[in-house]
Structure 1
């Protein structure tokens, strides 16, 4: 267990030192089976000003370490607050199967393409909308498509980058945001403009992007030509 912690620290760029050199450190990892001894050592390290993690003893931990899914530079950390390291590990293993190996290359490619994206889409809103459409499910740069990185050059040249206005109308099943369907949650997260009934609760509207425009349904344009650009969502309250 101690060796696993050492590898974790070295992988993150840290420098492991011995307990005798603890005055040089900021974090401490204790991997000892006996609770009494682990408690004594952890207490001493805390008194020395270190933040302490004690393996398999969450009540003694100042912090916990997540299970990490690495698609450098994309990192996904899964933590349970010390409740179950095994659960975090198996969630990470499932994600390892789902996330393409090329995901890191796609992220790096998008980073390198920032200037090209600004030239292609000088307007910030248009640029964000185009990327939302391309990175969305089934889009040109769908991150779950292992071949998305190969499509990036064509996307930057304009292929598949049209951003047609879209309008969706959904009716909520209840006022409880936890009862949103996956599709409804995705639409809320993507919407540029939301027209909503007056009694749609703020807790549901809060699931939308912070910069999404929110308007009461009565403010929706009557002329289709005046509809906003990007994705417009009509959000209806539950049927009585």
Structure 2
């Protein structure tokens, strides 16, 4: 068994929970319906915060009604089962939902932020925020109004936890990407980074990602089937 497994998850792991993907080969992803430049950039928020907040309010309500699927629960079992076998899991997600945590995962690096949190643009504090976010809401930490935004990484902003992610990649024994498009950097480059360290790589996806050619192994099918099967294989060895 590989001792240190690095797993990167994307929107495909949550699709079967009813959360839309951002990009897919059918052209039905979120950004095929909505204009990202008007909803997911700092400039868009500065120009029209009400519209941006309404978009994320709708997504937040959708998330609160969603439930983890078997892929999320399988990754939580993997995290729990590896230490007894001398292993450990680094779980990094591009997703801004909390379905990994609701399934039981304890250590998740959200490189694109978290939808159920708000961040103050004045003091930088983050606050759990499961309700609609209004432009006149006050920051619970500093008291300023009109300064809260979704705690998510927008286009043009730097992803979170990159130092920890690249350190984990350099120490991994296996890199696995699950439900990713392979189109968004820097996450799309993690497989090449792992390969440069001599780490074996595996793609688990509904269909081949844009960077599928970079992987040593591939398993295709619904995440709710492929991920539990893969985890059970690992935990049997």
Q: Please state which band the TM-score falls in when normalised by the shorter chain.
A: under 0.3
Q: What TM-score do the two structures reach when normalised by structure 1?
A: 0.22
Q: What TM-score do the two structures reach when normalised by structure 2?
A: 0.23
Q: Which has the larger radius of gyration?
A: 1
> More relative contact order in 1 or in 2 (CA 8 Å, sep 6+)?
2
